[in-house]
Amino acid sequence: MNDYPDIAAKALALCAAHDPWFPQPNRMTVTAWAEQIAVYQLGGRDVLDGVRLAYRDNGSGFRPLPRDIVQAARRIRAERAQAEPPAAREAREDRQVAERAKRKLDAMTRSIGKAFPD
C-alpha cells in the first residue's frame, strides 16, 4: 500500500530541488497533492520520475501543479508496463489480485466483528 502523503512530500521536495523559487509546501499542499496521486494509485518511483520528466519537458519557468506531475507519472508507469516482459507482468497482476482479495477479506472480517456486539 502506498503512503500518498509521503510520496507527495517527496515529489514537492524534488520540485524544490529543480526550482529554487518553488514555494515551501505546507500540510494542506501535501494533502492536496497526495489526493491527486492517490486517484491513480501511483507509486513513489513513478511520481518522482514524473517530476523529473515534467521538468525536463517543460524547462525554465515551469510551475507544476499536481495534474502536471500526475500526468507525467502516469506516462512513466505506462511506458514501464509496455516494456515489462509478459512473465513479469503476469506476476505483478497476480500480486495485485491477491492484494485486492486480501483487502476485501480484511474489510469483511472487520464488518463481521462489528455485527456481533460484545
43-54 confidence digits (pLDDT tens) = 999 999 999 999
Could you tell me the pTM of the whole model?
0.75
pLDDT at 117: 60
Confidence class for position 86, pLDDT limits 50, 70, 90: confident
Residue 44: which residues within 8 A CB-CB, separation 6 or more?
2, 6, 7, 10
